[in-house]
Amino acid sequence: MLKIHNKQKGKNTSNISVKIFIFLFFIGTASNVIGQEKYEVISTSRLNVRNKPTTNSSIIGTLNPHEQIDVYSIIDSWAKISYRSRMAYVSSKYIRKIEIKENIPIVTEYQEESNPITSEPEETETPKTIYNESTKNDYIGIDFVPSIYGGFTNFVSNNVSPKGNIGFGIDFAFQFIANQPISFIPKDYYMEASLGYSLKGSGAFPLHYITMKLSPIGYRYMLSDFMLWGKIGAYTGYTFSTIETQSHSFDTNIDIGILCEIGVEYERIGVGFSYERGLTNVCNSKLKLNNQCVFLNLSYRLFNLK
């Protein structure tokens, strides 16, 4: 009877241990769930997610701006989060707690730490950019873009074919860029105004112009590390040339025309092709001559004014 009693006692002890283990397991799980809090990513670019709370650890993913995450704890400026069904870490500097108040829409406030780590590394992802990213939250950016160009220039005539010439010039342009959508204006739309010099005309009659150009319609498209762009507009030029021959007198000093341009830019350096077509005759005789040019352009986005 004593042996049977001891066996029964052993079984009871084993059952109690199993129940205690299950109870503690659920308590631990519940505490983890209860300990989760909703946070929002506040970085201006994607936030790196790491497998350990150190910048030397590997990056296992990224979080988008304003993305909501579950945070378990914050220790030494690193937040322990749930990321794709696993534990991971992000810099707590770039997240903020979301507080939900009863009968009040969700509001957010920046998280404050009692002992911030001043030596904490910048943990936002920093992709390559074509233009100054510090202005991307502004509605309008202003860029200064000097350029040089050269190519083929000639007169378009109604009854002769003048010999072509090599033309060239230089422009100093300001671009007004929509960094954010504004009313009906889409993002990355831009306008451009420039002042410069150009050599046009034919081989026998070169004309030197002081030019002003205005391109009210321009658009740029970001493609990985490259930026594609295009613009259309108009130009006007004034020349001091007073070329005269036995049969023709070139005394029209103003040249007005249209232009279009396409190009690609990488690391602020741009290459493009432009076409210019004059609408005013540069000759006052019966011989009608209009400027026509095809140029190769090289530009550099020098700086951003905002």
Whether residues 275 and 238 fall in one domain: yes
Same domain for 61 and 157: no
Domain that holds residue 75: 36-108
User: Residue 112 pLDDT more than 60?
Assistant: no
> Order of strands, edge to edge, in the sheet holding 95-99?
59-63, 47-50, 87-91, 78-82, 68-75, 37-41, 95-99, 107-108
Boundary residue ending a domain (108, 125, 141): 108
Whether the CB-CB separation of 299 and 145 falls below 8 Å is answered with: yes
Least confident of 147-151, 287-291, 302-306: 302-306
What pLDDT sits at residue 306?
A: 43
Beta pairing partners, 98: 108
CATH number, domain at 266? Answer: 2.40.160.20
Compute the distance between CA of residue 175 and CA of residue 108 in angstroms, rounded to an integer.
36
Q: Are 73 and 149 in contact (CB under 8 A)?
A: no
96 domain-assigned: yes
Residues present in the chain in total = 306
Owner of token pair 């780590």:
117
pLDDT by residue (tens digit) across 128-159?
Answer: 444 444 344 457 888 899 999 999 998 887 66
Is 127 contained in some domain?
no
Instruction: List pLDDT tens digits, range 34-60.
Output: 467 899 999 888 888 998 898 888 888
| One domain for residues 193 and 285 | yes
In the chain, the number of structural domains is 2
Alpha-carbon span 92 to 42, nearest angstrom? 10
